[in-house]
Amino acid sequence: MSSPDTALRLHPWASLLLFISAYSPLLVILVIKDYDPQQLQWLPRHPYFAALVLLLVIVSCVGVLRAVREVQNGLTVKVTKVSNKSGEMFGYTIPYMVSFLRIDLGDWQTLLSLFIFMAMLFVVAYRTQTVFVNPVLALAGYMLIDCTFERGAAETQALVITKGPLKTGKSYVIERVSHYLYIAAHPDSGH
């Protein structure tokens, strides 16, 4: 039997997919930096590794955007208070500083160091349940809203990922993803 604390924790593989999608722009930048302008070809210096990275980027971004878009069911709640927290999605900018360094995708020590750094960031994001603070979702038009809502007599405060703004006094269908994290099914259909 799992403890109540981990019962609603997002599955590690889903969290990893979210994490990779959050850093997909960084991965694309690293592949671009692998091109050598002195070579007169369109392939990066490490084409197999670059292809693997780009495949990972595509799969993670498509998977995350599709999963968020397909939320249809959940709890019907009435919103009592909202606050936009989308600015917190910029918390992912610090690791992007790596893109300004000279990284050779053929140097195993550099890649191992980068992997250890990113693995540490993933563990922190997974344990703090912040994997949904994702700039790819922001680029796709999703917002992160700190929301207080009522369901019956119970009032809950949580973060809600939504495609459109939530309005106080309106009812919405939301799906619970983990502790204090929900996704709004149809934010524009509040009534």
pLDDT, tens only, 108-144? 888 888 888 888 888 887 777 666 667 788 888 888 8
The amino acid at 9: R
Q: Report yes or no on 2 lying in a domain.
A: no
Q: Contact at 8 Å (CB) between 168 and 82?
A: yes
Residue (of 164, 159, 171) closest to 142 by Cα position: 164
CA atoms within 13 A on the CB side of 72: 2
Q: Report yes or no on 124 lying in a domain.
A: yes
Burial 54-66 (b: 16+ CB within 10 A, else e): eebbeebbeebbe
Q: Contact at 8 Å (CB) between 167 and 82?
A: yes
Q: Report yes or no on 183 lying in a domain.
A: yes
- Total of domains in the chain: 1
Q: Report yes or no on 143 lying in a domain.
A: yes
Q: Report yes or no on 94 lying in a domain.
A: yes
Structural domain for 22, as ranges:
10-189
pLDDT digit string, tens, across residues 70-122 = 877 788 899 999 887 765 555 555 565 665 666 777 788 888 888 888 888 88
Rounded Cα–Cα distance for residues 169 and 191 (Å): 9
Q: Report yes or no on 112 lying in a domain.
A: yes
pTM for this model (two decimals):
0.72
